[in-house]
Chain A
């Protein structure tokens, strides 16, 4: 079947099998390998992307189901050579080690900040609780998101 969707602002059309998972569509068909996979049961959250502005687990969405919708991946966080504050926060606060869960974590963090510009530690922990990190122990991820909240591009010039 043919599927057409918008990925990172660009419309793409591909011939796919009905069963193709969105994560494989992104990785294998579009070469967007920033989105990872780590389990079979939608428990790990390394595959989180945005579907129509909300974080979803792309291992549990068929590419066909995303047809006609808008997908955003980690590759779209940096825009016009400008890193997203979330990306900078993860670097500044050591929010990543092996980097495997990082794209999913950052996509969820970005969505959280869009809805809640000043999340508490508990709110951040809750937001990422469907995503597993085996390296950081989460504290530095929480700090990274707090850092981003304090350094949003239009957050009153905080730097």
Chain B
């Protein structure tokens, strides 16, 4: 089988230690958590860091899922399986459980982490779409302290994030608002494959009217993107099939898929519409 190029292994014992190592080793170092994005890239020799800093020991520090009344905070080392199995999280944001059911496979989910998924910044990655949908913000820590960025700021392009060489993503914060629910829809060629297209939706109702709504798509552009135009079209209206249809059309118009082995651009655009409709419908039904 394919094997990585030589690499020096370091193990971080705390966030501070990890950041200290990053500061010392510079751009030739990479953090490794679950390893399911980085290690295959290293085996295929598409990534070749000189140093690997193993942050799995930070799970105790960063593996939390705190569901508060006003905000959900999730540590970057929370593993997929923990997100899947968290009842409090599913209660407030069922979109997480929807997505985690179809991310990779159960064995991979035992290892892979929220932070690792987001930092890989693959345009097809599901948790990025979930966080985009929910308007999450990302807490990035460096030697000089913490800064908080939006998902839009976090994703700079395919496989590129706002996290600097000597920084690490430590937490995701998601505001909790009343009257809301959410859902995630994914079409894949086969279980465990990356999305052909995924769509997340979150809606907040107030007296039978949509107070706010957000839609996030994966695999139809350079990054998972939120769709402000869809939000604008939904706000202040009563949920209906016609409204979902209009939102779907807007979603399809707002994305820029490309043809590849997973499907044609036309098909993906169609899915953007269809899955947006389905995710909105299900979100509303769940409120």
Task: Give me the interface of A with B, judged by CB distance under 8 Å.
Answer: 1, 17-19, 21, 23-24, 37, 39-43, 45, 48, 51, 54-57, 59-62, 64-65, 67, 108, 126-127, 129-131
Contacts and interface: CB of A to CB of B under 8 A. Distances in A.
Contact of A61 (B44, B105, B111): B111
Contact of B4 (A19, A23, A56, A61): A19
B36 interface: yes
A18 B9 contact: yes
B110 A60 contact: no
A56 B106 CA distance: 9
A62 B6 contact: no
Nearest to B2: A40
Given A41-B40, A59-B1, A130 B35 contact: no
Contacts of B110: 54-56
Interface string B219-247: 00000000000000000000000000000
Given A1-B9, A54-B81, A129-B192, 5 more contacts: A19-B42, A60-B111, A62-B9, A62-B52, A64-B54
B56 interface: yes
Taking each of B56, B106, B192, which has the highest tally of chain A beta carbons within 10 Å of its own beta carbon?
B106
Nearest to A104: B107
Contacts of B104: 130
Given A60-B36, A65-B56, A129 B1 contact: no
Contact of B39 (A1, A51, A62, A127): A62
B5 A130 contact: no
B8 A18 contact: yes
Contacts of A48: 107
B35 A126 contact: no
B52 A42 contact: no
Contacts of B54: 62, 64-65
B25 interface: no
Contacts of B40: 40-42, 60
A65 B107 contact: no
A155 B11 CA distance: 42
A41 B56 CA distance: 21
B192 A43 contact: yes
Nearest to B38: A60
B195 to A, nearest CB: 16
Contacts of A17: 6
A108 B107 contact: yes
B7 interface: yes
Contacts of A40: 1-2, 40, 43-44
B106 A129 contact: yes
Closest 9 CB pairs of A and B: A130-B105, A18-B9, A40-B2, A64-B9, A19-B4, A130-B107, A54-B110, A19-B7, A60-B39
A65 B35 contact: yes
Contacts of B187: none
B52 A18 contact: yes
Contact of A56 (B3, B8, B9, B107): B107
B209 interface: no
Contacts of A67: 11
Contacts of B35: 60-62, 65
A57 B9 CA distance: 19
B140 to A, nearest CB: 24
A21 to B, nearest CB: 7
A18 to B, nearest CB: 3
A37 B40 CA distance: 13
Which of B7, B35, B39, B107: most chain A Cβ within 10 A?
Answer: B107
